[in-house]
Structures are given as C-alpha cells and as structure tokens.
Amino acid sequence: MPNLLSTIDSVQISSQISNASFVSEKLGVKYKLFDWNRKYVNGVSSTKPLINNLHVTTYASGLLYQIEALNTEDNFNFTSLGVGLGVTFLNNLDFNISYAGQINNWYQNNYLNIGFDIQITEYLAQLSKKRAQNQSSN
C-alpha cells in the first residue's frame, strides 16, 4: 500500500550522531507481518490493542522535499532508500527502525533511521475534521 508519510527521521549514526533531518516525506510500501487489530475489528477480542500491527517497510525519502531549516547540516539533502521494521499504534502512528542509504552513494552514506510516521491519508482526514469543527463553531 503506497504511503506518503511525514516523519521525524533520518538520524545518521557512525561513532556518534553527525547529521539529522527532522522532517521529510517517505514514499513506500509496508507489509503487515502480524495484525492484532484484525481480532478486535472481527469481534474475536473485546479490547482494542495498543499496537495494531508489526510490519516490514521499504521506502524512498527526500524525493519531493526536505526542509533545510530542520536539518542539522545544509549538505544533508539527498534522496535515500530504506528498509525496516515497525509497529503501528492504535492511533495509526507508525514507529519504524530502518537501514537506509543515499541512492547515488549507497556504500559510503548509509545510516540507521529511527522515525515516527504519520500516513498522509490520516493527516488529511484529521485536518478536514478539524476544519469542519472550526467552521461549525463559527
């Protein structure tokens, strides 16, 4: 399922943290390994789980934009590919740990990516709900 994800991500780690990008998009796919929320939705379980699913993800990041003011260094502006493992919480917030690298220089610029992701569809749904509430209160 293609995603456009807004994320707090891209911590490059060598012997110390040297660069960080706090906001960028992710375009990718995720495959659910375990789906605990399905038991709740299908009525097998009566309590909503804290963690909806465990998934594997692969993505490209930095294709559309990077907010330079939110990078620790101006030269941290490359497109990267990544693969990782994550969980989705009950509020559709994803937490992922992945291994990623610069597309055109994979062997020299790879890093560990730790991020919280919000699916763009979830973001837009909440935004439209908020706008509707604001319009009805005015």
Give the span between the Cα atoms of 76 and 21, in whole angstroms.
7
Give the span between the Cα atoms of 130 and 12, in whole angstroms.
35
Q: C-alpha distances in angstroms, 93 versus 51, 117, 120? A: 10, 6, 11
pLDDT of residue 82: 92
pLDDT of residue 18: 61
pLDDT of residue 27: 87
pLDDT of residue 4: 41
Q: C-alpha distances in angstroms, 112 versus 6, 8, 38, 60, 125? A: 17, 13, 30, 14, 30
Range of the domain at 102: 3-137
pLDDT of residue 88: 94
pLDDT of residue 19: 60
For residue 137, the one-letter residue type is S
**Nearest partner of 39 among 23, 28, 52, judged by Cα:** 52
> What's the predicted TM-score (pTM) here?
0.70
Average pLDDT across each block of 10 residues of the chain; the chain has 138 residues. List them in order: 41 50 79 90 82 94 66 67 94 92 80 86 86 85
How many domains, in total, are found in the chain?
Answer: 1
